[in-house]
Structure 1
Amino acid sequence: MDPGFLGPATRDALARLVALEEGGPDASPLDRLRGIRSLVVALDADPAALAAVREALDEGTGWDAIAEAAGLSASAAKYRWSGDDADIAERHEASRRRKRERPSSRPTDLPGRSVAEAAKELGVTPQAIYQRVARGLMRAETVELPDGRTYKRVFPDE
């Protein structure tokens, strides 16, 4: 039997999902959801996509066509698949490292108020807050956190 182009983990996840599909409505909704998620995770980790991209590039296909086929922008496709295995691994590890180092939530202990908070509090638009700051009617400062994130903070009560 021809092993196909998908890796073993992806073939197994696909077979489990097909079995759920063939089992009809008896499969629980959570089992179906787990099966779908398992296939998505397996496909994302499968080297088949990278192999297909490399084959397409070898055949002379451009990044725009590859990106369109993958549902990505050309720059995202290049970021994901350009270079050799070491280049790709290094880029992806750098991305994971940045995500670990930069929390996704905003800090709640910053001084003053955000522009949006001040605008809502004063019943004006954020643009009006920026105009007041530009005219010197309201103090503002940019707060930089140790991880490099910056936040514009205003002080309407002063």
Structure 2
Amino acid sequence: MGFLSGESAGALARLVALESSASGDADAAPLERLRGIRALAAALEADPAALAAVRGALDGGATWDEVADAAGLSASAAKYRWAGGDDAIAERQEASRRRKRDRPSSVPTDLPGLSVSDAAKRLGVTPQAIYQRVNRGLLEATTVELPDGRTYKRVFLPDVAEDGASD
């Protein structure tokens, strides 16, 4: 028995079979290969073999820098992923999944006014200059807080309509 989980070994075997088969539907083959590659990547990411290898390396005297180098990560990322016991690792992974699920990664497009960056571009200045003008009372701005806790500074230029178009 190998060191990979059954799921990872199965995904690898399916990908190898796709590589070695020369027949089949030419249109479906690239999609099947892509599905096979993604399935293998997902299986390997979740495979406990990586954690076992990290623990074995650390027990054998490897440093976190060496582990990180072997994994293609920074030392802090490697520690975040693999440091501590099983419960601590599972708790960090669940917290990360919760954050990703609860907080979308895209900025909403229906916020009032302009972003600091857009206002800076419009006026031909730096974002820091926009913040200074807001602090001095030369520009109106507000912070919009979304229900999920994200906040955005919005700037209102006197000669710009709500949709961003000039009056």
Question: Does TM, scored on the shorter chain, surpass 0.5?
Answer: yes
- Residue number in structure 1 paired with 2:13: 15
Q: Report the secondary structure of 1:105's partner residue.
A: coil
What is the Cα deviation at residue 74 of structure 1? 0.8
Query: Partners of 1:69 and 1:98 in 2: how far apart?
Result: 28
Unaligned runs of at least 5 residues, structure 1: none
Q: How does 1:7-156 map to 2 (within 5 A)?
A: 7-24=5-22, 28-156=29-157
Q: 1:156 to 1:57 in 2, by over 3 A?
A: same
- In the alignment, residue 9 of structure 1 is paired with which amino acid? E
Query: Partners of 1:109 and 1:14 in 2: how far apart?
Result: 45
- In the alignment, residue 56 of structure 1 is paired with which amino acid? A
- Residue number in structure 2 paired with 1:5: 3
What is the Cα deviation at residue 136 of structure 1? 2.7
What's the C-alpha RMSD, in Å, of the aligned pairs? 2.0
User: Is the deviation greater in 23-32 or in 136-145?
Assistant: 23-32
Unaligned runs of at least 5 residues, structure 2: 160-167
What is the Cα deviation at residue 110 of structure 1? 2.4
User: Is the deviation greater in 141-150 or in 42-51?
Assistant: 141-150
What is the Cα deviation at residue 140 of structure 1? 1.8
- In the alignment, residue 118 of structure 1 is paired with which amino acid? A
Alignment: residue pair count = 156
- In the alignment, residue 88 of structure 2 is paired with which amino acid? D
Q: Report the secondary structure of 2:114's partner residue.
A: coil
Structure 1 stretches (4+) deviating beyond 6 angstroms?
none
